[in-house]
A = this chain, B = another copy of it.
Amino acid sequence: MAQYYSRRNLNFLLHEVFDAASLNKYPYFNAHDRETIDMTIDAVTQIGDNLMYPYLRDLDRNPPELHNGKMTVHPKVGDYLKAMGEAGLIGTSFSFEDGGQQLPETVSSCLGFIVMAANNGMMYTGLTSGAAGLINSFGTDELKQTYVANMLSGKWQGTMALTEPQAGSSLSDITSTAAPQTDGSYLVKGQKVFISAGDHDQCENIIHLMLARIEGAPKGTKGISLFVVPKYRLDGADNDVTSTGVYHKLGQRGVPAMHLTMGDRDDCRGWLVGEPHKGLSYMFQMMNEARIGVGMTGAAIASAAYCASVQYAKERPQSRRLNEKGALDSPQIPIIQHPDVKRMLLLQKAVVEGSLSLLLETARCVDIAHASEDPEEKEKYHLILELLTPIAKTYPTEMGLVAVSNGLQVLGGYGFTEDFPLEQYYRDIRITPIYEGTTGIQSQDLLGRKMTMKGGKPAQLLFAEVAKTIAEAETHEELKPYAQKLKAELGRLQEVTMALMPYAMQGDIERYLMDATLFMEMFGIIAVAWQWLKQGVVAKNALLTQQPEGDELAFYESKIHTMKFYFHYEVPKTLGLAVRLKDTEVLTIETEKELAL
């Protein structure tokens, strides 16, 4: 077991379960095969081992500092950016002509998993590729030529400048302004908060992808435009973007969350990306990848915590088997042999590997929706992607948090100390259910938008995929009971959906979405149950066809064991959730008389 992720498990998911190389049947991906994929994974792992994981603590201990307008971050961030840029590992999914490697998102997202598991405090490159992606997709050739190459090289940092003090989850209330100038640029003015990597000294320029309103634009989300706002203009002149403040954070301390002021001196220039008033729709086209990225961060931190707690549990002797309490002359046993500790470790493994599987399933939809030339296939995977994205963002972050807390508990008092990394992972992962749309927002997206989209077609398409897995599993005696459990869960989920739909049809959206977060929790458990059954089928087939031995035998057996654990310990939680979701008692909607709290 590595220090922060299991390569064997990544290979299992990437090659045995999702057969990433087979995506090269699509012309767009035909440059890649298993060898090129593995080489890329090797390269990123090397960076993780050498330039990231060794500085996990050090970045946390030495957070970014703002001194009279100048942001300094840990110097190792520069080494990381340089290495990633030189290896061409920023924006790997970009097309060749755009300076990328045309790598499937299925693979690119694994690279994100590895770097975030190695040191999630170095969350810089994902922001840059996201920002560059926006310019790529919607910017003029001039904007592309000006910015993209310098960003993918790691020289220029990219950011997403959305949130404003008065508009957190509510982007329709954005008030930053943009006034057109004769030279085609815009004079930009506004405040942005929580801008990750919003300023630092380990790059040559910061390129903000900023949302603002062009004077006279319509109210709400339909009046928001997207601009490129660099820290320095091309001639090197200061572009009037001020670092007003840096937040002191619970975790992920290696990357600054900035409060920025654009246009303090009325001299901040921005360049429009795409058409006016379409900024939010552009943002949302990037949002799927961004949300998968945050889900990956949750899975990654949980993976690193799992690795650390397994290692501790194998080495720490404590007490004796419960059936041999009296045997005081016998030595203490490693705590991994205690059922309660084994349970906490299996829970972590089930969450980490189940989450990663769900995320790769989702990334695969991105790839097929993008690369397929068959319109029907394209639409199918696009719709499944729309449905899975909020779940793939939420399950790994919410349950990742629970997994990390269990990892800390495995270490007892030592888990609470800075002698082990668990306490840091517990702090770091806490932001992930908030980033890129909180769990509440994701849940409203799932139930409010995705479940009702096209008369429920996305869910129909997804359930058909799940049914395929169930059918495969039923061919194995050992898996049959789990196939049947999953079938029952699908039925339960449909019942709940049917119970809620009438509220949507009556237009009582508030009532319909009242417990959306619980619906999300239930759907997430079932989606991951599907992933575990899928992994169980692949493992079972491997055991039957390859007759593996030694570590390989143990690996596949532990996959089936963990699948069983998930079904016996996690899946039953849907019973209580379904009861509540079908329950007609309304307790969280304001009546005229406000509840005293």
A218 to B: closest C-beta gap in Å = 9
Asked if A395 is an interface residue, CB under 8 A from chain B, the answer is: no
Asked if A233 is an interface residue, CB under 8 A from chain B, the answer is: no
Asked if A376 is an interface residue, CB under 8 A from chain B, the answer is: no
Contact of A568 among B169, B510, B583 (CB under 8 A): B583
Asked if A439 is an interface residue, CB under 8 A from chain B, the answer is: yes
Are B430 and A329 in contact, with the CB atoms below 8 A? no
Contact string, A301-329, partner B, CB cutoff 8 A, digits 1/0? 00000000010010001111111011011
Known: A167-B318, A339-B513. 9 other contacts (CB 8 A): A163-B413, A248-B417, A322-B510, A323-B508, A336-B597, A339-B510, A561-B595, A564-B587, A575-B579
In chain A between 1 and 42, which residues have their CB closer than 8 angstroms to a CB of chain B? 1
CB closest residue in chain B, given A314:
B597
CB closest residue in chain B, given A586:
B339
Interface stretch, picked from A47-55, A91-99, A551-559, is: A551-559
Interface stretch, picked from A116-124, A341-349, A537-545, is: A341-349
Give the CA-CA distance A65 to B310 in the complex, in Å: 32
Contact of A416 among B166, B249, B339, B585 (CB under 8 A): B249
Give the CA-CA distance A328 to B213 in the complex, in Å: 15
Are A168 and B413 in contact, with the CB atoms below 8 A? yes
Are B434 and A416 in contact, with the CB atoms below 8 A? yes
Are B590 and A337 in contact, with the CB atoms below 8 A? yes
Are A516 and B249 in contact, with the CB atoms below 8 A? no
Give the CA-CA distance A453 to B362 in the complex, in Å: 52
CB closest residue in chain B, given A331:
B173
Give the CA-CA distance A343 to B444 in the complex, in Å: 14
Asked if A153 is an interface residue, CB under 8 A from chain B, the answer is: no
Asked if A452 is an interface residue, CB under 8 A from chain B, the answer is: no
Give the CA-CA distance A333 to B520 in the complex, in Å: 25
Contact of A409 among B220, B328, B412, B439 (CB under 8 A): B439
Question: A336-B597, A568-B580, A597-B349 given as contacts; is B443 within 8 A of A430 (CB)?
Answer: no
A515 to B: closest C-beta gap in Å = 7
Asked if A216 is an interface residue, CB under 8 A from chain B, the answer is: no
Contact of A321 among B163, B325, B349, B510 (CB under 8 A): B510
Are A250 and B427 in contact, with the CB atoms below 8 A? yes
| Residues in B whose Cβ lies below 8 Å from that of A423 | 249-250, 430
In chain A between 382 and 412, which residues have their CB closer than 8 angstroms to a CB of chain B? 401, 405, 408-409, 412
In chain A between 574 and 595, which residues have their CB closer than 8 angstroms to a CB of chain B? 574-577, 579-580, 583, 585, 587-590, 595
Contact size range, A: 35 or more
Give the CA-CA distance A332 to B345 in the complex, in Å: 44
Are B590 and A328 in contact, with the CB atoms below 8 A? no
Give the CA-CA distance A577 to B576 in the complex, in Å: 9
Give the CA-CA distance A11 to B168 in the complex, in Å: 38
Contact of A576 among B169, B322, B576 (CB under 8 A): B576
| Residues in B whose Cβ lies below 8 Å from that of A172 | 319, 328
In chain A between 194 and 240, which residues have their CB closer than 8 angstroms to a CB of chain B? 194, 219-220
What are 21 residue pairs bridging A and B, where the CB atoms are less than 8 Å apart in the complex?
A: A168-B412, A247-B416, A247-B418, A248-B418, A248-B419, A249-B423, A250-B427, A310-B597, A337-B590, A339-B515, A340-B444, A340-B516, A409-B433, A409-B434, A416-B430, A427-B427, A554-B595, A555-B596, A558-B595, A558-B596, A572-B576
CB closest residue in chain B, given A320:
B170
CB closest residue in chain B, given A512:
B322
CB closest residue in chain B, given A583:
B568
Asked if A438 is an interface residue, CB under 8 A from chain B, the answer is: yes
Give the CA-CA distance A515 to B588 in the complex, in Å: 34
CB closest residue in chain B, given A557:
B596
| Residues in B whose Cβ lies below 8 Å from that of A313 | 597
Are A332 and B438 in contact, with the CB atoms below 8 A? no
| Residues in B whose Cβ lies below 8 Å from that of A575 | 572, 575-576, 579
Q: Which 8 A-B pairs have the closest CB atoms?
A: A572-B576, A554-B596, A170-B319, A250-B423, A248-B418, A575-B575, A339-B588, A342-B588
Asked if A461 is an interface residue, CB under 8 A from chain B, the answer is: no
CB closest residue in chain B, given A424:
B250
Asked if A70 is an interface residue, CB under 8 A from chain B, the answer is: no
| Residues in B whose Cβ lies below 8 Å from that of A336 | 597
Contact of A332 among B173, B318, B401, B579 (CB under 8 A): B173
Give the CA-CA distance A575 to B565 in the complex, in Å: 18
| Residues in B whose Cβ lies below 8 Å from that of A329 | 219
Contact of A170 among B166, B321, B332, B440 (CB under 8 A): B332
Asked if A514 is an interface residue, CB under 8 A from chain B, the answer is: yes
| Residues in B whose Cβ lies below 8 Å from that of A319 | 169-170, 172-173
Question: A337-B590, A558-B596, A569-B580 given as contacts; is B416 within 8 A of A318 (CB)?
Answer: no
Question: A249-B417, A321-B510 given as contacts; is B427 within 8 A of A412 (CB)?
Answer: no
Are A585 and B597 in contact, with the CB atoms below 8 A? no
In chain A between 128 and 164, which residues have their CB closer than 8 angstroms to a CB of chain B? 163
In chain A between 234 and 290, which residues have their CB closer than 8 angstroms to a CB of chain B? 247-251, 257
| Residues in B whose Cβ lies below 8 Å from that of A170 | 318-320, 332
Are A438 and B409 in contact, with the CB atoms below 8 A? yes
Give the CA-CA distance A583 to B570 in the complex, in Å: 13
Are A339 and B514 in contact, with the CB atoms below 8 A? yes
Asked if A468 is an interface residue, CB under 8 A from chain B, the answer is: no
Are A513 and B322 in contact, with the CB atoms below 8 A? yes
Asked if A186 is an interface residue, CB under 8 A from chain B, the answer is: no
Are A346 and B588 in contact, with the CB atoms below 8 A? yes
| Residues in B whose Cβ lies below 8 Å from that of A427 | 250, 427
